[in-house]
């Protein structure tokens, strides 16, 4: 990400991805990162993404 060696350390990192049986496109993604930053402070970040109703029609209403 363009950082330097002073960024800290990542101690744990995982990425899990589920693929659709029909088509093989991603339907779920989970990412976990943990470590210590450059000041010694511990951090943890988690991201979960689910894709539902792919290719279904949607309606977007303008603000009223």
Tens digit of each residue's pLDDT (9 = 90 or more) over 14-49: 999 999 998 899 999 999 999 999 899 999 999 999
* Residue 13 resides in a domain: yes
- Domain enclosing residue 29, as ranges: 5-50
Residue 5 — very low, low, confident or very high, per pLDDT cuts 50/70/90?
low
Residue 64 lies in a domain: no
Checking if the pLDDT of 13 tops 80, the result is yes
- Residue 22 placed within a domain: yes
pTM attached to this predicted model = 0.67
10 in a structural domain: yes
| Residue 31 domain-assigned (yes or no) | yes
pLDDT of residue 30: 98
Close Cβ partners of 29 (under 8 Å, ≥ 6 residues apart): 15, 16, 17, 18, 47, 48, 49
Identify the pLDDT of residue 54. 82
User: What value, to the nearest 5°, has the Cα angle with vertex 29 and ends 61 and 22?
Assistant: 85
Q: Is residue 14 part of a domain?
A: yes
């Amino acid at each position: 990400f363009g950082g330097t060696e002073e960024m800290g350390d990542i101690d744990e990192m995982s990425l899990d991805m589920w693929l659709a049986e029909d088509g093989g496109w991603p339907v779920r993604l989970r990412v976990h990162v943990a470590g210590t930053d450059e000041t010694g402070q511990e951090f943890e970040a988690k991201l979960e993404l689910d894709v539902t109703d792919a290719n279904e029609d949607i309606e977007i209403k303008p603000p009223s």
